[in-house]
Chains A and B, each alone.
Chain A
């Protein structure tokens, strides 16, 4: 029973202690501690927000970078394609020109050859005719050195003529 009866003295001292403790601690301890914790809380909050923003910024920059890279790649491809086209064009033109030239040269060569051939043939004809004349003259001279022979030849030729 005794322990269930409140003791006014202890109630008094407890009240006094608690209220004084509350007042002192509120001023001396809780205010700075809670303020510090709040500052930290807000700092962390801000930091998180900043971090999120920075992350977004980075993402944005990354996107931009990707775009730029994409753009660059496209330009490069364009340039390469143009260059290739150009190259192809040049090669084609060069080929055509070379072909034309080659055709021209061949033609020229042909013509020259033809001309030279003609000349050569002409020369040969001349030579042949000269040689023939000479040979003929020699043969004639030799053949006709004897009368018999002359007569037989004439005879033969005449026979041939007849057949013609």
Chain B
């Protein structure tokens, strides 16, 4: 642990100093907002490391990712490195350019039309590319399969009664925690609890692994997948569907008819209940998005202090503060996965539990 902290400090001190000197030498303005927005957004390539940043001979090592476009009923697949070699790529009759991480349809000369605010007004093809976020999701996917596949193999081979060993020790407390402290607490019928277990376990670990991958500060991490609204939107929609598809008749009756409540109040309560159906998953979506994105923004802002001030003297401040933020974000990564799962379970529980 001590060694790790030393390395961490050294890494930031050396790296920060080098970049700061480069920036001040070349007199280039460092734009923290742009850097942060670039980081928390998506990208068609996976940036690994830059040498001579800001200099003439800047050289970046990046991993090209496949671009998959659907345009004019035709599927176009190529590697993103193609945008480096030829700026304008032909998609059937049209042409595409990559501008600020976004692909636009242009004419043969690659003209982009801007409106008065500077936003590009060109049309975009349907972009199903394996972007950095998708790639990091696939990485998480592979890690989860490997982790739980191995653990399950251990259980299948050695039976449930043997003492857990190796990876099982990692998996078992988490699974037991979700089963006993989350699912069985909220969903009273044991049969129903068992039914929802696979979904909730997958949800928890999927969010958790992506949160954690996002916290790794170098190559196979540093993506902002769980702080991306598309990701949280998808999970929230899946939660919404799960809650409402399996809801009991009793739940619908209480939502739409609110029995046992006087009519004047009913007029107010029922619309609130109906809006509540949608605000619950909406809050789930925003909570995860905002927490993870905010964490990334804070860490990046703290790192930017050195570059904004243009002096190495600020690095101790940066290092101490970002170390603290990393610890906090590590906690948040678990906490948000827990809260998302807990609230989903709670809503499912409200929807499927029998009336008392």
Is the CB–CB distance between A10 and B176 below 8 Å?
no
Asked if A12 is at the interface of the complex by the 8 Å CB criterion, the answer is yes
Asked if B74 is at the interface of the complex by the 8 Å CB criterion, the answer is no
Q: Which residues of A contact B160 (CB under 8 A)?
A: 35-40, 43
Asked if A148 is at the interface of the complex by the 8 Å CB criterion, the answer is no
Is the CB–CB distance between B148 and A3 below 8 Å?
no
Give chain B interface residues in 112-168, CB to chain A under 8 Å: 126-131, 133-134, 137-138, 141, 144-145, 148-149, 151-153, 155-156, 159-161
Q: How far is the CB of A21 from chain B (nearest CB, A)?
A: 6
Question: Given known contacts A10-B228, A17-B138, A37-B172, is B233 in contact with A28 (CB within 8 Å)?
Answer: no
Q: Which residues of A contact B198 (CB under 8 A)?
A: 22, 25-26, 30-31, 34
Is the CB–CB distance between B293 and A3 below 8 Å?
yes
Q: How far is the CB of A69 from chain B (nearest CB, A)?
A: 40
Is the CB–CB distance between B161 and A28 below 8 Å?
no
Q: How far is the CB of B131 from chain A (nearest CB, A)?
A: 7
Instruction: Give the docked Cα–Cα distance between A120 and B303 (Å).
Output: 148
Q: Which residues of A contact B40 (CB under 8 A)?
A: 3
Asked if B171 is at the interface of the complex by the 8 Å CB criterion, the answer is yes
Q: How far is the CB of B23 from chain A (nearest CB, A)?
A: 25
Residues 166-202 of B, flagged 1 when their CB comes within 8 A of A and 0 if not, give: 0000011001100100000000000000100111011
Q: Which residues of A contact B128 (CB under 8 A)?
A: 9, 12-13
Q: Which of A11, A32, A33, A39 contacts B233 (CB 8 A)?
A: A11
Asked if A14 is at the interface of the complex by the 8 Å CB criterion, the answer is yes
Is the CB–CB distance between B126 and A8 below 8 Å?
yes
Is the CB–CB distance between A34 and B233 below 8 Å?
no
Number of A-B contacts (CB under 8 A): 128
Number of interface residues of B (CB under 8 A): 49
Q: Which residues of B contact A12 (CB under 8 A)?
A: 128
Q: How far is the CB of A26 from chain B (nearest CB, A)?
A: 4
Is the CB–CB distance between B127 and A17 below 8 Å?
no
Q: Which residues of A contact B155 (CB under 8 A)?
A: 32-33, 35-36
Q: Which residues of B contact A18 (CB under 8 A)?
A: 202, 206, 234-235, 238
Is the CB–CB distance between A43 and B148 below 8 Å?
no
Give chain A interface residues in 61-85, CB to chain B under 8 Å: none
Is the CB–CB distance between A10 and B134 below 8 Å?
yes
Asked if B229 is at the interface of the complex by the 8 Å CB criterion, the answer is yes
Q: Which residues of B contact A30 (CB under 8 A)?
A: 148, 152, 197-198, 201-202
Asked if B14 is at the interface of the complex by the 8 Å CB criterion, the answer is no
Instruction: Give the docked Cα–Cα distance between A18 and B68 (Å).
Output: 20
Q: How far is the CB of B150 from chain A (nearest CB, A)?
A: 9
Question: Can you report 26 A-B residue pairs in the complex whose CB atoms are below 8 A from each other?
Answer: A2-B41, A3-B37, A3-B228, A8-B230, A9-B129, A9-B131, A10-B131, A12-B128, A13-B134, A14-B234, A14-B235, A17-B138, A18-B234, A18-B235, A21-B144, A21-B145, A21-B206, A24-B145, A28-B145, A29-B145, A32-B156, A33-B175, A34-B198, A36-B159, A39-B159, A43-B160
